[in-house]
């Protein structure tokens, strides 16, 4: 079980006992839900950092930094994490490398979690629009 906290820590706990397996410190609070793909756990902090950790050992695989706060869990599809940001962008991040594959800019903050369905990514923005984007957006 994995639990983020306002004390800038992500905790990995044994489900049966509640005993802590490992912890990972960040610079800001971890309020958003977590995403998982394979052996990678992905989570964001309020200052806009996206982390990928080895879920068994808690070792940081990579960190991706953005300009705004991230308030939601990433959606995962095909080895790519999709996440919205208060900087008005939707980001597509390679889960193995942390490389930004593409960015889509809206006219408002992207505070709702994106959803991956089939080959499409759906996300709402505070600009009042719902966007339907292909998962391999070419910009």
Q: Does 139 have pLDDT greater than 60?
A: no
CA-based nearest residue to 74, from 94, 104, 88, 55: 94
3-class state of residue 15 by DSSP? coil
Which domains does the chain show, CATH number per domain? 2-134 (2.130.10.10)
Buried b (16+ CB within 10 A) or exposed e, 13-32: eeeeeeeeebebebeebbbb
* Cβ proximity of 100 and 74 under 8 Å: no
What is this structure's pTM? 0.83
> Parallel, antiparallel, or unpaired for β 115-117 and 120-124?
antiparallel
Give the model confidence (pLDDT) of 70-112 as tens digits.
878 888 888 899 989 999 999 999 988 999 999 999 999 999 8
- Per-residue pLDDT, averaged over 7-22, amounts to 93
pLDDT for res 138: 63
- Per-residue pLDDT, averaged over 39-65, amounts to 89
């Amino acid at each position: 079980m994995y639990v983020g906290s306002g004390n800038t820590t992500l905790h990995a706990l044994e489900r049966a006992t509640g005993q802590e397996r490992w912890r990972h410190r960040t610079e800001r609070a971890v309020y958003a839900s977590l995403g998982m793909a394979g052996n990678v756990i992905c989570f964001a902090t309020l200052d806009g950092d996206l982390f990928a950790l080895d879920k068994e050992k808690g070792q940081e695989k990579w960190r991706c930094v953005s300009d705004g706060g991230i308030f939601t869990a990433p959606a995962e599809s095909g080895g790519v994490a999709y996440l919205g940001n208060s900087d008005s962008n939707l980001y597509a991040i390679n889960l193995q490398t942390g490389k930004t594959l593409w960015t889509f800019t809206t006219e408002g903050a992207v505070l709702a979690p994106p959803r991956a369905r089939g080959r499409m990514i759906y996300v709402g923005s505070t600009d009042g629009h719902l966007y339907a984007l292909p998962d391999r957006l070419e910009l």
